[in-house]
Chain A
Amino acid sequence: MIAELGLALLWIAAALACLSLVAGTIYLRGGQKDLAALVRPTSVAQGVLTALAFALLIALFVRSDMSVELVARNSNSLKPMLFKVAGAWGNHEGSMLLWLTILGISGALVAIFEKRLREDTLIATLAAQAALSLGFFAFLIFSSNPFKRLPVAPPDGQGLNPLLQDPGLAFHPPTLYVGYVGLSVAFSFAVGALITREIGPAFARAMRPWVLGSWIFLTLGITAGSYWAYYELGWGGWWFWDPVENVSLIPWLAGAALLHSVAVTATRNALRAWTVMLAVIGFSMSMVGTFIVRSGLLTSVHSFAVDPERGTFLLALMAIYIGGALTLFALRAGTVAEGKKFALLSREGSLVINNLLLTTILALVLLGTLYPIVAEALGEKISVGPPYYNKVAGPLALILCLVMVAGPLLAWRKDDGQKLWARLPMAVFAGALVLVLLVIFGGRIGILPLLGMTVAGVVAVASLAPLWGRNLRRTPLPTWGMVIAHFGVAVALAGMGAESAFIKERLVAAAPGDTIKVAGYEVLFKGVRPVAGPNYTAIEGTLIATSGGASHVLKPESRMFPGLMGTAPTETNEAALLTRPGGQLYVVLGQPVAGADGADRYQLRLWWKPLVWWIWLGGALIALGAALSMLGRAQLLTLWRARRARKDRDRWK
């Protein structure tokens, strides 16, 4: 019954989306004015029903109802509970339902909380959001039905890809999806404002918290995904320029550009058309990413299934939405009023350069991601790897960071170069100090890590400059947000530079009792023992790392998941990590090697990764900064303070 109910809910939710769209359209065309009253409640109901359908899918996974095809293919009754639940979105159909749920809930949240937008623009926004939902409902129901029953239920399921059986999976995809799909709100705002021709500071101020909100989740999702890949794959890398990573980075770049340009529109009433354009690009990039990942064009652990029908369907949806929004933009761009003027050396000017650099990096990453697909269509198989991305994105990102040094210190409208210079000596000194220290003590370092760490030094100091000479208690929340986010960029950059420049690696085949030296650590390999997990068996190695008198035990595992219901057995490596203030020791246990004398040796890979955890700390700081900024912009705090003030007054009465 649960599966049938889930499908029915999807149909009803789709009907409600259709109703919102039709009612909104009639209202906007000047027909029945009272139809507007219908749009908010239908948007809310549609979001709630879609979420309920998703909850039912989770219930099916929890109950291990093997008569449902999706559960049988992706779950198993022996799996730990967390992975049964997470299994609901660890596959194509379930993840598309999650996508739709977030789309619906975003619309519902806009319908409930958005009070600042003009009524007709709000209705147009909700109608646009409903139109987006409708297409993806069709995709889900007609080509990716998650509730499909099997004619005969198998005794048990095939289980979840063991690589995905990690607590990281429970959080990484939903977080990323909230960010990805949350950008749909900005897209719908842009479409709504283009329809009603309301593009100005009020519109920008209303859109700003929504952009920040989805960008926080994108940042957290990418950061978590990076850490997950780092320890789960056992390769020790934190970014592979894998196409699937790229398609999460591309909307993030668009979101970063948008939240800076929307600041200009909200504060200075400039860059209006550009902000609207970026809002369209942001979610368009989310759709392009989904298309690339879901169409099976890519070789990746993320592409669950290869199905040309689905690819074509998604391509058609994307063409309609992106094409439609861009056409609307082209028709209305001429009517967007002129923005306010500004000098090149001004806060606006620096934000324009920021936007140009971010969109250029976006275009280059997109080019590298799409190029192999296009080349393959033309008959040449090509892979574009890290050297390309590091070459094109690295230098531009460093220039972007330098702009970030100056931007927050510039006044709006017009500033003076000499005054700017006078605000910078500490930051320049910090950068010079880092550079000199690295050149003297750093040994041979690549040019990119060297510049990266230097720029990180400059940014770290300069990012704090907006707080100098200010009463910290009176400093507005968004300023704190900007400072923390920019400081986070410096922290992450320092981590990336230090890890690339000073990484130490040892790869050995060791017998129990052997000691391996890596970066000041003496690591004693004690031996291995078999261990059993809930749905796997494993070989667990024990190593004791000693440095400066302190010892730490490391237990890397090599896990074997048995094949379930006809699938092949799978092995995964669980790396062991020792986190120290200066970095991380990373140990992978490889395969046994039969020695000539009969004694077994084991392959061991050890890395010392200096400051590597700063990368994710930086990501978390960026998200925290954005969150503070959003809290300040959404004026929740103002409301709360007002309420408290009212309460205080009441108490006096």
Chain B
Amino acid sequence: MKAKHQRLILALVALAGVAGAGVLGASALRDEAAYFRTPQEIRAGKAVVGEPMRLGGMVAAGSIERQADGVTIRFVATDGKASVPVQFTGIVPDLFAEESGMVADGRMRADGTFVADRILAKHDERYMPPQMGEMPKGLAKAAPQG
């Protein structure tokens, strides 16, 4: 086998590898990508029950209810136009509070409650999820950028 042929074969193998990776990646993305939804989109029926997704919104004022076990909370996530009840068992992040932004990973239950596996809060005044930026001005109580 000539060196030139070997090079060609290597290039073809590499190409096949890349193509295979593309197919693998595309199929995995189709199965595993989670959609970011706002409460309004969920009310509009865009969320499939049981499908992993990410919910973004503000925690409605006065909505946080602690359950008797001490580690489960229920609250309402809102984007000003619609709201969704959320249930979460665990320790909420440091910056989780009423009237501030949060992003929750989880899935919708058939009764219309969003069950969160993990909650993220905005990390500080200078950090805001881009998706939050699109919410009504009065709701996103972010301080102006320094």
User: Footprint of B on A, CB under 8 Å?
Assistant: 72-73, 158, 161-163, 234-235, 274, 296-297, 299-301, 303-306, 338-342, 352, 356, 359-360, 363-364, 367-368, 371-372, 380-385, 387-388, 391-392, 507-509, 566-568, 570-573, 588, 590-591, 593-596, 601, 603, 605
| A392:B25 contact, CB within 8 angstroms | yes
Chain B stretch 94-121: residues in CB contact (< 8 A) with chain A: 94-95, 103, 105, 118
Q: How far is the CB of A336 from chain B (nearest CB, A)?
A: 10
Question: In the bound complex, what is the Cα–Cα distance between A340 and B2 (angstroms)?
Answer: 10
Any chain A CB within 8 A of the CB of B80?
A: no
Closest to B91 in A: A590
User: Assuming the A-B contacts A573-B94, A591-B91, A603-B71, are A158 and B146 also in contact, with contact meaning beta carbons closer than 8 angstroms in the complex?
Assistant: yes
Question: Which residues of chain A are within 8 angstroms of B7 by Cβ–Cβ distance?
Answer: 338-339
A380: which of B35, B70, B92, B94 is its contact (CB, 8 Å)? B35
- A161, B123: Cβ atoms closer than 8 Å: yes
Excluding A161-B124, A339-B7, A364-B25, 20 further A-B contacts by CB distance (< 8 Å) are: A158-B146, A234-B91, A296-B130, A305-B145, A340-B3, A341-B1, A342-B6, A356-B14, A359-B17, A360-B18, A367-B25, A381-B36, A381-B131, A383-B35, A383-B54, A385-B105, A392-B28, A509-B70, A567-B143, A571-B95
Given contacts A303-B127, A364-B25, A385-B105, contact A603 B70 (CB under 8 A): yes
Interface residue? B44 (CB, 8 A): no
* A507 with B71, Cβ < 8 A, contacts A301-B123, A381-B36, A391-B28 known: yes
The complex places the Cα of A296 from the Cα of B92 at a distance, in Å, of 25
CB proximity of B15 to chain A, nearest CB, Å: 10
Residue among A372, A568, A601 facing the most chain B CB atoms (10 A cut-off): A568
- In the complex, which residues 25-67 of chain B have their Cβ closer than 8 Å to any Cβ of chain A? 25, 28-29, 31-37, 52, 54, 66
- Please judge, given known A-B contacts A297-B130, A391-B28, whether A383 and B92 are in contact too, CB under 8 Å: no
A166 CB, nearest partner CB in chain B, Å: 14
**Interface secondary structure of A, over-half rule:** mixed
Q: Are A299 and B70 in contact (CB under 8 A)?
A: no
| Interchain CB contact under 8 A, B32 and A385 | yes
Sample of 20 A–B contacts (CB below 8 Å): A73-B146, A161-B127, A299-B130, A301-B123, A340-B3, A352-B13, A359-B18, A360-B20, A360-B21, A367-B22, A384-B33, A388-B28, A391-B32, A507-B71, A507-B89, A567-B143, A568-B143, A570-B124, A590-B91, A595-B70
Chain B nearest CB, measured from A559 CB (Å): 9
| Residues on the B chain within 8 Å of A72, using CB | 146
B137 interfacial by beta-carbon distance below 8 Å? no
Check A571/B94 contact, CB under 8 A, given A299-B103, A356-B14, A382-B33: yes
Complex: A297 Cα to B131 Cα, angstroms: 10
Q: Which residues of B contact A381 (CB under 8 A)?
A: 35-37, 131
- Chain B min CB distance to A146 (Å): 14
- Is A570 in contact with B130, judged by CB distance below 8 angstroms? no
A116 to B103, CA, bound (A): 54
In the assembled complex, the Cα of A480 lies from the Cα of B129 at a distance in Å of 46
**CB contact between B66 and one of A300, A305, A593, A605 (< 8 Å): that residue:** A593
The 4 closest A-B pairs by CB, nearest first: A509-B70, A381-B36, A590-B91, A388-B32
B90 sits at the interface (CB 8 A): yes
Contact at B21–A363, with CB atoms within 8 Å?
Answer: yes
Report yes or no: A304 in contact with B126, Cβ–Cβ below 8 A. yes
